[in-house]
């Protein structure tokens, strides 16, 4: 039934909270708060820009999110500080089970579908030693709109050449799962932290706690 | 130049933080946290549903936002508690200067353009004794997509019969200002709390601290 898996990247394979170390180093005492605000603003900006039709790529939006996150807690980062913090996005930690989970999936083709730019994705995949694990590394930058627009999920269907109902979509971002499910994927929510499900009128097909569970989902 | 003013409702004329009293009454110790989370989730859901093409009206989305806000802090509200808290949205406090500011604007036609349902808007306008102040009370419910989609702002242009560059759009929500400006309104950000401007690639035409300043903007 499921012929391929498509993974979200940020928050799913790569831990966006791993920027906290650099945040704390640059702004002592603000690491945790800044990490949360940065991610919140980054995502808000992807949604707002998509709705307004003002696409800028994820590197820019991530930088804008960082700047406004800093300002909202009274910090005024220099360009050097911004540049240093942005590098954290290229060297995010992978979640610890990811490499083993991909190994366990054996011959099932796995791809990435992400808000990130091609350059950001290439860097983080290389830095986490996941090179060669993915059949396709697909970026919204090709379609210039962000998740959860159906235009993004269609990119994966088109590029994989597999009908949507035969694609399993894996994301730790529950709104992304809702977008993938709305489009017509089999949608698996990787809910590592036992978060409450969002109320968006659509439910994940499966809820898993670790990517290791994907082998039993596929069995 | 400016022939009419169009106001956003929630957060601009009506104080969404005035739900805090009921939140604290129902869930003592959680009033402030719940008020913030509720608003955050309500807005996120408008953006996500708009991007996914899963419109539900603002009454439903506001209720969904409340439910998930409660769950995210470990609360399990009963339907009676939800119903009681939702009533707060029909009886929001107006910001204190609004009636006087509308008076001071004299003959300039003023309208509302809001995410709220027609019923929600009629209730809150009546309960704040602003009946008869607005030429048009326009709801996104007619177009079934939320701000900041340009479809919403076009509704005001169409209904007022005034070209967008002759409409002054007033909102305290800076992302809504960005949406109105992107569409082509003259866009005025009512920044009561000296918040940092969001980085969305577009700047407000004017920033004011109180609706009373609109008379000088229009002079």
Question: In chain A, which residues have their Cβ closer than 8 Å to the Cβ of B76?
Answer: none
B57 near A CB under 8 A:
no
B67 near A CB under 8 A:
yes
Interval B24-36: pLDDT, tens: 999 999 999 999 9
Q: Which two tokens stand for residue A24?
A: 């704390």
Binned at pLDDT 50, 70 and 90, residue B14 comes out as very high
Residue for token pair 């499921």: A2
Which residue, among A200, A202, A203, would best test binding to B if mutated, counting the most B CBs under 10 Å from its CB? A200
* Residue of A8, A15, A141, A176 marked active site: A8
Contacts of the segment B212-219: beta carbons below 8 A, 24+ positions apart? B212/B97, B212/B100, B212/B101, B212/B104, B214/B5, B214/B101, B214/B104, B214/B105, B214/B168, B214/B170, B214/B188, B215/B101, B215/B104, B215/B105, B217/B168, B217/B188, B218/B2, B218/B5, B218/B105, B218/B108, B218/B168
**Contact in structure between A22 and A83 (CB atoms under 8 Å):** no
Q: Closest Cα of chain A to B6: distance in Å?
A: 19
pLDDT confidence of residue A219:
84
CB–CB contact A175 B54 (8 Å): no
pLDDT confidence of residue B148:
98
B73 near A CB under 8 A:
no
Residue for token pair 């569409």: B183
B74 near A CB under 8 A:
no
Mean pLDDT of B5-11: 98
Interval A82-141: pLDDT, tens: 999 999 999 999 999 999 999 999 999 999 999 999 999 999 999 999 999 999 999 999
H-helix segments, A128-218: 150-160, 174-183, 214-218
How much is the mean pLDDT over chain A?
A: 97
Q: In this structure, how many other beta carbons lie within 10 angstroms of the beta carbon of residue A174?
A: 20
> How, if at all, do strands A4-7 and B93-94 pair?
unpaired
pLDDT confidence of residue B217:
93
Give the whole-angstrom CA distance, residue B157 versus residue B16.
26
The three-state secondary structure class of B193 is: coil
Same fold, A4-15+92-218 and A16-90: no
Nearest to A196 among B47, B71, B150 (CB): B71
Interval B105-159: pLDDT, tens: 999 999 999 999 999 999 999 999 999 999 999 999 999 999 999 999 999 999 9
Task: State percent of chain B over pLDDT 90.
Answer: 96
Give the CATH superfamily of A16-90.
Putative phosphatase; domain 2 (1.10.150.240)
Interval A135-175: pLDDT, tens: 999 999 999 999 999 999 999 999 999 999 999 999 999 99
How much is the mean pLDDT over chain B?
A: 97
Q: Closest Cα of chain B to A126: distance in Å?
A: 30
Q: CB within 8 A of A71, min separation 6: which ones?
A: B196
Q: Is the peptide bond before B148 cis (omega within 30 degrees of 0)?
A: yes
Binned at pLDDT 50, 70 and 90, residue A197 comes out as confident
A57 near B CB under 8 A:
no
The three-state secondary structure class of A154 is: helix
pLDDT confidence of residue B215:
95
Residue for token pair 């909270």: A17
Q: Is this structure's pTM higher than 0.90?
A: yes
**Contact in structure between A157 and A164 (CB atoms under 8 Å):** yes
Binned at pLDDT 50, 70 and 90, residue B18 comes out as very high
Question: In chain B, which residues have their Cβ closer than 8 Å to the Cβ of A182?
Answer: 52-54
Query: Residue B138's Cα: distance from chain center in Å?
Result: 12
The three-state secondary structure class of B219 is: coil
Q: In this structure, how many other beta carbons lie within 10 angstroms of the beta carbon of residue B87?
A: 12
Residue B158 annotated in active site: no
Locate the domains of chain A by residue range. 4-15+92-218, 16-90
Which residue, among B62, B191, B199, B203, would best test binding to A if mutated, counting the most A CBs under 10 Å from its CB? B199
Nearest to A71 among B49, B146, B196 (CB): B196
Q: Which CATH class is domain A4-15+92-218?
A: alpha beta
ipTM of the complex: 0.96
Estimate the crossing angle of helix B174-183 against helix B150-160, to 10 degrees.
Answer: 60
A73 near B CB under 8 A:
no
Interval B167-188: pLDDT, tens: 999 999 999 999 999 999 999 9
Query: Is B197's pLDDT higher than 90?
Result: no
DSSP code string of B104-165: HTTTS-EEEEESS-HHHHHHHHHHTT-TTS-S-EEEGGGTT--TTSHHHHHHHHHHHTS-GG
Nearest to A47 among B51, B53, B196 (CB): B51
Q: Give, in order, the Cα–Cα distances in Å from A132 to each of A96, A103, A172, A213, A217.
A: 18, 12, 22, 22, 23
CB–CB contact B201 A51 (8 Å): no
pLDDT confidence of residue B134:
97
Binned at pLDDT 50, 70 and 90, residue B196 comes out as confident
Give the whole-angstrom CA distance, residue A140 versus residue A116.
7
């Amino acid at each position: 039934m499921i012929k391929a898996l498509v993974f979200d990247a940020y928050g799913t394979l790569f831990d966006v909270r791993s920027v906290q170390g650099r945040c704390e180093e640059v702004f002592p005492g603000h690491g945790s708060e800044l990490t949360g605000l940065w991610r919140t603003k980054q995502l808000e900006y992807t949604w707002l820009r998509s709705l307004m039709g003002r696409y800028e790529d994820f590197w820019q939006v991530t930088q804008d999110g960082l700047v406004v996150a800093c300002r909202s807690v009274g910090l005024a980062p220099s360009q050097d500080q911004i540049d240093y913090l942005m590098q954290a996005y290229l060297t995010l930690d992978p979640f610890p089970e990811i490499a083993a989970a991909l190994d366990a999936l054996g011959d099932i083709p796995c791809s990435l579908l992400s808000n990130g730019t091609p350059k950001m994705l290439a860097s983080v995949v290389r830095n986490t030693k996941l090179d060669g694990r993915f059949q396709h590394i697909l970026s919204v930058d090709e379609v210039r709109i962000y998740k959860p627009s159906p235009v993004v999920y269609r990119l994966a269907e088109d590029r994989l050449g597999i009908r949507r109902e035969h694609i399993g979509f894996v994301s730790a971002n529950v709104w992304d799962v809702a977008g993938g499910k709305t489009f017509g994927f089999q949608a698996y929510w990787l809910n590592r932290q036992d978060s409450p499900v969002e109320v968006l009128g659509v439910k994940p097909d499966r809820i898993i706690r670790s990517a290791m569970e994907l082998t039993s989902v596929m069995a």
